[in-house]
Amino acid sequence: MTQTTVYWVAFKTILTKEILRFARIWVQTVLPPAITMALYFVIFGKLIGAQIGDMDGFRYIDFIVPGLILMSVISNSYANVVASFYSSKFQHNIEELLIAPIPNFVILAGYVGGGVARGVVVGVVVTMVSMFFTDLSIHSYGVTLVVFVLTSVLFSTAGFINAVYANSFDDISIVPTFVLTPLTYLGGVFYSISLLPPFWQTASLANPVLYMVNAFRYGLLGVSDIAMWQAFAIIIGFVIALGAFAMWLLRHGVGIKS
Amino acid sequence: MTALALENLSKTYRNGHEALRGIGLQVERGDFFALLGPNGAGKSTAIGIISSLINKSAGRVGVFGHDLDTEPAAVKSSIGLVPQEFNFNQFEPVVEIVVNQAGYYGIARREAYQRAEVYLKQLDLWPKRDTQARTLSGGMKRRLMIARALVHRPRLLILDEPTAGVDIEIRRSMWDFLREINGQGTTIILTTHYLEEAESLCRNIAIINHGRIAERARMADLLRRLHTQAFVLDIRDALPSIDDIPGFGVTLLDSTTLEVTVNRDQGLNPLFSVLSERGIEVLSLRNKQNRLEQLFIDMVKGGVETGGRGA
């Protein structure tokens, strides 16, 4: 058995375990975002959106669809990894991986893969829900797909880092509540930053979620507040930085080894 | 060939606690080895380092000639660990836990399932294969961890308190199973608080105390060092007190129970002669306690001279 085969089998094992985990509890993992997004579409899209008029040349409900889909992907990718990895720490079954002959990158890839899988499933479900409210068209399949996957990878990795540092179940909800949700809501999901005063336009540029939402909106609608090269540079930069940090944490056993 | 070689292994935790202070130890291939010590002596830290769960502060760990620092994958592949605490996902089905562990060692799912079937059947867990692990009894959970540790067929099996909380019948069946595994060539290192277990199963022993190897010897040699044995005698008629018996230490535990301490080189006939002369009829006699337990208590208290130090 070659080393590559060992790593591949180990990766598939972690990934399968992660997918089965969220699939077993689909009522808690897949259904809620579908319901939440349906409510967003009804309230912000239909009821309030009808009073707002067009934004960037699109009906308001069409304008917010990309951001709402990506918001689901972000929160679910993050939640999957942070909950699963912290649970492994809490129950000590992370030790099953630590004693096995697999390198850290396989462990990280397995958990992030699980987060991406949930992001994809939830993203597809939310997209299907959105089709009840809007005629979804795709401007660029390539941009849409790449932003979708990279965003999911980024927030899965962020969830992993959160889980490494978490010492209680409270610690895994602090970041989503106080960091992730504000960043997402202020990341241009519901508005174009061109509507903001100059100071807040500049301040918004410090929010990484803005780049993802706009890149995804470009993929679906063909409009964006941000240049695509800039959006991709930020997204890829964050993926590399968080990935490197997560590997460093694993190499030093932070939060998982004495 | 050496299955395990520890050289100058040290561990100081972040809070400054020195759990291991430069221990050296060798365990030969095929051995059934007991690693004993009081709570907090450093046993679990040593096992944690060997199995890559704890980072060492200094020293070297070698497993079947592979160095943990330079060949971690080879070392990890050689080791199976049964930890002290239940450390599987309580919400997963039993068979999934074993099959997943095989997967982490690169064993493809079909073969992993076949192996899981073999070990779960050997350990009487096959009928529970689709049950969530949290619903198993304590003894079943212990056996599940043994099946999981064996699924990649390790050459060195480390058992940290494998029979804790297990009833005597299951404990005995687990002993038989471990003897069988050892007989097939698997080296076993065992830590336990049941010293009867160590005495019954192990051929060699090391005792850790205060982070150092206090003793490393063959089990038989160690037991030979005991100078005295204690016996408990049940007698027919109640006694209000008992006079001294020359050459023996006699204590009346209750009106119909005597405790007698006897030197190893001393026969019991003179004792029975005196008791007979005094009209005391003995109904039964038994060892007061496990011999290794006595030695262990004396040793950790510093009451017995230690022999050869850790290899």
In this structure, chain B runs to a length of 311
Residue B311: the pLDDT is 37
In this structure, chain A runs to a length of 258
CA–CA gap between residue B155 and residue A172 (Å, rounded): 39
- Is the CB of B55 inside 8 Å of chain A's CB atoms? yes
pLDDT band at A52 (very low <50, low <70, confident <90, very high): confident
**Residue B188 and residue B55 share a domain:** yes
Residues 6+ apart with CB under 8 A from B297: B303
Mean pLDDT over all residues of chain B?
Answer: 89
Please indicate whether residue B301 or residue B208 has the higher confidence score (pLDDT). Answer: B208
Neighbours of A85 (CB within 10 A): 28
DSSP B155: S
Residue B307: the pLDDT is 46
CA–CA gap between residue B126 and residue B94 (Å, rounded): 9
CB A88 within 8 A of CB B89: yes
- What is the rounded average pLDDT of the residues A2-25? 95
Tell whether B306 is covered by a domain: no
Instruction: Give chain B positions within 8 Å (CB) of A14.
Output: 103-104
CA–CA gap between residue A122 and residue A142 (Å, rounded): 19
- Is the CB of B212 inside 8 Å of chain A's CB atoms? no
**Residue B209 and residue B97 share a domain:** yes
Instruction: Give chain B positions within 8 Å (CB) of A101.
Output: 72-74, 76-77, 105-106
Tell whether B121 is covered by a domain: yes
**Residue B200 and residue B237 share a domain:** no
CB contact under 8 A, B100 and A1: no
CA–CA gap between residue A123 and residue A148 (Å, rounded): 9
Residue B171: the pLDDT is 86
Q: In a mutagenesis test of the B interface, which of A14, A18, A99, A106 is the best target, namely the one with the most B β-carbons within 10 Å?
A: A99
Instruction: Give bridge partners of residue B261 from the DSSP assignment.
Output: B230, B249
CA–CA gap between residue B232 and residue B260 (Å, rounded): 6
Tell whether B179 is covered by a domain: yes
CB contact under 8 A, B105 and A10: yes
CA–CA gap between residue B78 and residue B163 (Å, rounded): 23
Segment B3-34, tens digit of pLDDT: 999 999 999 999 999 999 999 999 999 999 99
Tell whether B307 is covered by a domain: no
**Residue B252 and residue B118 share a domain:** no
Residue B152: the pLDDT is 97
Tell whether B220 is covered by a domain: yes
Neighbours of B132 (CB within 10 A): 15
CA–CA gap between residue B62 and residue B92 (Å, rounded): 34
Residue A227: the pLDDT is 94
Q: Of A10-14, A23-27, A55-59, A235-239, where does mean pLDDT reach its minimum?
A: A55-59
CB contact under 8 A, B104 and A96: yes
**Residue B143 and residue B73 share a domain:** yes
| Among A6, A97, A257, beta carbon nearest to B54 | A257
Domain final residue pick, B202, B224, B246: B224
SS3 B177: helix
Query: Above pLDDT 70, what percent of chain B?
Result: 93
**Residue B244 and residue B218 share a domain:** no
Helices B94-104, B138-150: axis angle to 10 degrees equals 30
Query: Above pLDDT 90, what percent of chain B?
Result: 62
Instruction: Give chain A positions within 8 Å (CB) of B52.
Output: 98-99
Tell whether B304 is covered by a domain: no
CB B282 within 8 A of CB B234: yes
Q: Say how many domains are in chain B.
A: 2
| Among A12, A93, A100, beta carbon nearest to B89 | A93
Please tell me the pTM assigned to this model.
0.85
Residue A102: the pLDDT is 94
CA–CA gap between residue B222 and residue B216 (Å, rounded): 9
- Is the CB of B127 inside 8 Å of chain A's CB atoms? no
Question: Both tokens of residue A189?
Answer: 């999901």
**Residue B32 and residue B175 share a domain:** yes
Segment B71-82, tens digit of pLDDT: 999 999 999 999
Domain containing residue B289 = 228-294
CA–CA gap between residue B193 and residue B289 (Å, rounded): 14
Delimit the domains of chain A by residue range: 3-252
pLDDT at A3 over 90: no
Q: What is the CATH number of the domain that holds B267?
A: 3.30.70.1560
**Residue B96 and residue B49 share a domain:** yes
Query: Tell me, what's the ipTM?
Result: 0.89
Place of tokens 């959006």: A231
Segment A119-133, tens digit of pLDDT: 999 999 999 999 998
- What is the rounded average pLDDT of the residues A212-236? 95
pLDDT band at A98 (very low <50, low <70, confident <90, very high): very high
